[in-house]
Structure 1
Amino acid sequence: MMLADARLPTGGHTQSGGLEPAVRAGLGGDGARLGEVASYAADRLRTIVRVEAATAVVARRLALDGELVEEAEAAWAARTPSQALRAASRRQGRAYLRLASRVWPRTTEYLKADAEIARPVVVGVVAAVTGLSAEQTARLVGYDDAQTVVAASLKLLPVDPADAASWLLKLHPAIEELVSAVSGTTTVAAIPAYGAPLVDVFAQAHAVERMRLFHA
């Protein structure tokens, strides 16, 4: 529950799940098509979030088996074409790891406390240390991404908070579908390679924006 809480002090409030650049490109229609936010979050769950969730599940398995979790990082990087997205994930992963090294010190048995490594890998290691199951790990990654997008919409578009809450509720079946799809992943080679090219394009453009509300 702590890991899935948006108030966790890891800089999550600086992330929009790519929603900010998508809104700049026209998503939401300046308030005329707000339902597109939920569709965008669902599309992420079917594509790049599946890669991240599977990476976390595999990192958890590698940690439990005493193997190098960096193998999961390399596989994730190979499936994440956008340099901007890789950098954002590693920056947030470092923040997660800094906190985890204090709250769950055993994480430093697998990763250096100041390592800059992808967030899903850190989540997988924390899951191994804290006894989360593969299903719980995948669900956490899926829920965290969905709530990041929905929470960001409140700052980017004229969204009624009640509508935002209902979007997140309606996304739970998609999250559970993600859990079923990736929780059985046990090897690096089995991590899926789904992609969302427009999200990559938006992220690259957003990285050089001079005025932005969110880091990514």
Structure 2
Amino acid sequence: MRAGTTSAQVPAYLRSRLRTVTRVEAGTAVVARAVAAGGGDLAEVEAAWAARTPSPALRTNARRLGRGYLRVLHALWPGPLDARARTWSRPVVLGLLAHRAGMGPADLARLVGYDDAQTVTAALLKLEPQDPLLITAWVNELLPDIDEMAVQVAHLHTPEQIPAHGAPLIERWAETHDTTTERLFSA
């Protein structure tokens, strides 16, 4: 695999992501949900998330995904949105979606954790095809850790409370991936 990581190291990688970038995203989503419920300014949540996400490539991708989630939000709950919403990241828009859907903070954090784990493992299956049941078992084994992370961030309410756990290697890999011209997936 890329950067010398073997598929056997993926479970450890998933746990590292869960403790760092995923925790930041889950905490951001939970805070965005709370701020949206209180009628506050989601731009402050976006700024706090961006300060905790040093990689321009990760920020750009998260904002691209956020625009996609905004389409879902608008389709399910039409109505006016803050003009700045098109620049919000995925976790901020997920928080707004969760608020509109009536989803609780722990369930939202759990969703972010599970989504991250399954996204990484789905990509692995495309990069290095192997037994999908093994990959499913890795995600299943991570569920207690996802639940623990969800409990740890579910009480957050303000941008200052968003976790600030860095992952320099993941950030570097994102920057490298952003500039590669090699096609990684054939699907």
Fold in common (TM above 0.5): yes
Question: TM-score with structure 2 length normalisation?
Answer: 0.94
Do 1:63 and 1:125's aligned partners in 2 also have CA atoms closer than 8 Å? yes
Deviations 1:33-74 (A, max 9, x none): x22112111110011111100000000000000011111100
1:1-216 matched pairs, under 5 angstroms: 23-28=1-6, 34-105=7-78, 108-109=80-81, 111-112=82-83, 115-213=86-184
SS of the residue aligned with 2:45? helix
| 1-structure distance, mates of 2:126, 2:33 | 34
Letter in 2 for 1:27: T
Do 1:104 and 1:126's aligned partners in 2 also have CA atoms closer than 8 Å? no
Structure 1: runs of 5 or more not aligned: 1-22, 29-33
Letter in 2 for 1:50: R
How much has 1:115 moved relative to structure 2? 0.8
Letter in 1 for 2:108: T
| 2-structure distance, mates of 1:187, 1:57 | 9
| 2-structure distance, mates of 1:176, 1:47 | 15
| 2-structure distance, mates of 1:170, 1:136 | 18
Do 1:97 and 1:113's aligned partners in 2 also have CA atoms closer than 8 Å? no
How much has 1:129 moved relative to structure 2? 0.4
Q: Which has the higher helix share?
A: 2
| 1-structure distance, mates of 2:159, 2:19 | 19
Deviations 1:109-158 (A, max 9, x none): 4x449713100000000000010001111111111101101111111113
- Decide whether aligned partners of structure 1 residues 113 and 75 sit closer, same or farther in structure 2, where only a CA change above 3 A counts: closer
How much has 1:24 moved relative to structure 2? 1.3
How much has 1:104 moved relative to structure 2? 2.6
Do 2:59 and 2:89's aligned partners in 1 also have CA atoms closer than 8 Å? yes
Do 1:98 and 1:113's aligned partners in 2 also have CA atoms closer than 8 Å? no
